């Protein structure tokens, strides 16, 4: 092992020791922030007040020259990105100030279909008036569905499941969106024979 590998190993160990949490502490911190519809609920939602770094720092996102909100980064196909650049100059758009810009250029033959999550759901489903909880891949989204943008081209599958969340038969619609990542496509193409 050379010196640079030893230094890197030492820094990883030091960082983990100083800033890491044990699994028990992490679970305890989530228990305090957990929203439970009831003890009998099949769905447990953790209210994570921390935001994605892009959202915290207010960076303007441009995709093919169009200003979009940062939520689009969650469903933008990384294999369709031709180039990405960062401009660090502060800008103001409307009443909002941004610390910089991320400029994303997609490959020439790819036409994304950006739309609000609420519009996407209403285009594909007729739902009852139950409250809606959204899940993107394995993550529960704590978002306003009118503001959250998706690229419809990168959505592989959508399912809706009505879940009873309490002993009083309070129900919600759990809307699961699965993106076209390599892992999700591999799982989708796997046939399990029992």
Checking 9-17 for CB contacts under 8 A at 24+ apart, the result is: none
Is 155 within the bounds of a domain? Answer: yes
Question: How many separate domains does the chain show?
Answer: 1
Calpha distance 58→85 (Å, rounded): 16
More confident residue, 64 or 34: 64
- Tell me the per-residue pLDDT of 126-140, one tens digit each, with 9 for 90 and over: 888 888 888 999 888
Is 141 within the bounds of a domain? Answer: yes
Is 29 within the bounds of a domain? Answer: no
Q: Is 121's pLDDT higher than 60?
A: yes
- Residue-range definition of the domain harbouring residue 134: 114-188
**How confident is the model at residue 176, as a pLDDT?**
92
Q: Mean pLDDT in the chain?
A: 75
Is 174 within the bounds of a domain? Answer: yes
Confidence of residue 53 (pLDDT cuts 50, 70, 90): very low
Q: Is 30's pLDDT higher than 50?
A: no
DSSP 102-131: EEEEE-TT----EEEHHHHHHHH----SS-
Is 18 within the bounds of a domain? Answer: no
* Residue 143 CA: distances (Å) to CA of 32, 70, 175: 21, 12, 13
Predicted structure pTM score = 0.64
Neighbour count for residue 30 (Cβ, 10 Å)? 13
Q: How far is CA 69 from the centre of its chain?
A: 13
């Amino acid at each position: 092992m050379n010196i640079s590998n030893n230094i890197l190993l030492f820094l990883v160990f030091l960082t983990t020791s100083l800033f890491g949490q044990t699994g028990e502490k992490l679970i305890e911190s989530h228990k305090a922030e957990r929203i439970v519809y009831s003890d009998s609920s099949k769905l447990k939602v953790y209210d994570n007040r921390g935001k994605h770094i892009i959202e915290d720092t207010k960076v303007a996102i441009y995709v093919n020259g169009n200003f979009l909100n940062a939520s689009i980064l969650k469903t933008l196909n990384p294999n369709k990105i031709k180039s990405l650049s960062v401009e660090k100059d502060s800008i103001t758009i409307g009443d909002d100030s941004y610390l910089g810009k991320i400029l994303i250029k997609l490959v020439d033959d790819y036409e994304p279909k950006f739309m609000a999550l609420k519009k996407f759901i209403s285009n594909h489903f007729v739902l009852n008036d139950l409250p809606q909880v959204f899940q993107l891949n394995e993550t529960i989204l704590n978002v306003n569905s009118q503001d959250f943008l998706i690229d419809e081209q990168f959505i592989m599958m959508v399912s809706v499941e009505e879940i009873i969340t309490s002993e009083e038969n309070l129900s919600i619609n759990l809307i699961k969106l699965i993106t076209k990542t390599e892992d999700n496509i591999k799982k989708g193409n796997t046939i399990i024979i029992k």
